[in-house]
């Protein structure tokens, strides 16, 4: 792709831009404050001349599982080379080759990385590869096709960034499943290979930020950057939402 100057796409004008709002991302499990804040942002876009339409994009429930299978499989495969010899951290004390591998990886990787390596090794293992990894890649293709259909009609897709407001650092460390579920709105962008941007559009009663995600078609970064820029200029979040 040719090099682009993305600053030139910040026109502060979105008249005629078609924004699709997938109803599944605003249904069950979405925090009410998040929903209300995003509805206000959607209304602001309408006031600025954007064409807003609700539509069905029933992929979130499949995308989350697909992402964690594919991402963990890739983590397991890619991090296999971090053995303390060719790449990565090397433990300072070891008695033999086996202990070098074990201690280097045990000391060098954090808990979440280890968890993903174990999950990834499992889904790639003999007897489970077809049931998990191969199927996840097939579902990934379906997710991409659903987005392709949506982008035939819309320039931008608008969703929450997370179904809840921002949580405190470390507050979900003991519950990885709950932490993974917080990604339900964003992982479909990763597996479909699309550009996405998240910007704050408000705060909850405790002053924690609420994010809005804008998804664009492949190589259409200029569009989502401008749509995000317009909202940023309107809200002036840094000035108006200081704690």
Domains in the chain: ranges and CATH: 17-237 (3.90.1300.10)
Angstrom distance (rounded) from CA 30 to CA 25: 8
Structure confidence at residue 36 (pLDDT) = 93
Structure confidence at residue 146 (pLDDT) = 93
Structure confidence at residue 179 (pLDDT) = 67
Mean pLDDT of 194-215: 92
Closest CA to 190 of 73, 66, 80: 66
Report the share of the chain in percent with pLDDT over 70. 94
Tokens representing residue 74 in the block: 């890739």
pLDDT higher than 80, residue 242:
no
Q: Confidence band (pLDDT; 50, 70, 90) for 178? A: low
Structure confidence at residue 56 (pLDDT) = 92
Look over the chain and give the mean of its residue pLDDT values, rounded to a whole number.
Answer: 89
Angstrom distance (rounded) from CA 50 to CA 128: 47
Q: Confidence band (pLDDT; 50, 70, 90) for 175? A: low
Mean pLDDT of 190-198: 94
C-beta of residue 25 within 8 angstroms of C-beta of residue 159? yes
Structure confidence at residue 28 (pLDDT) = 77
Q: Confidence band (pLDDT; 50, 70, 90) for 164? A: confident
pLDDT higher than 90, residue 49:
yes
- Give the number of other CB atoms < 10 A from CB of residue 222: 17
Q: Lowest-pLDDT range, 28-32, 127-131, 227-231?
A: 28-32
pLDDT digits (tens, 9 = 90+) for 89-119: 999 999 999 999 999 999 999 988 999 999 9
β-pairing, 18-22 with 51-55? Answer: parallel
């Amino acid at each position: 792709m040719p090099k682009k100057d993305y600053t030139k796409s910040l026109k502060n004008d979105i008249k005629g831009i078609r924004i699709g709002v997938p109803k599944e991302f605003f249904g069950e499990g979405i925090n009410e404050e998040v929903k209300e804040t995003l509805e206000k942002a959607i209304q602001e876009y309408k006031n600025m001349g954007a064409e807003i339409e609700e539509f069905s994009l029933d992929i979130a429930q499949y995308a989350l599982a697909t992402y964690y299978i594919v991402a963990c499989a890739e983590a397991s495969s890619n991090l296999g080379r971090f053995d303390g010899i060719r790449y990565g951290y090397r433990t300072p004390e070891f008695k033999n080759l086996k202990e070098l591998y074990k201690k280097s990886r045990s000391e060098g990787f954090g808990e979440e990385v280890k968890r993903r390596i174990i999950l990834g090794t499992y889904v790639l293992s003999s007897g489970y590869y077809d049931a998990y990894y191969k199927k996840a890649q097939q579902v990934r293709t379906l997710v991409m096709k659903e987005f392709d259909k949506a982008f035939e009609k819309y320039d931008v897709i608008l969703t929450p960034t997370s179904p809840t407001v921002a949580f405190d650092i470390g507050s979900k460390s003991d519950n990885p499943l709950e932490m993974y579920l917080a990604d339900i709105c964003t992982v479909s962008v990763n597996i479909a290979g699309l550009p996405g941007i998240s910007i704050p559009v408000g705060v909850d009663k405790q002053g924690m930020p609420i994010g809005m995600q804008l998804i664009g078609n492949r190589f259409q970064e200029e569009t989502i950057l401008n749509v995000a820029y317009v909202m940023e200029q309107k809200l002036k979040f840094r000035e108006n939402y200081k704690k």
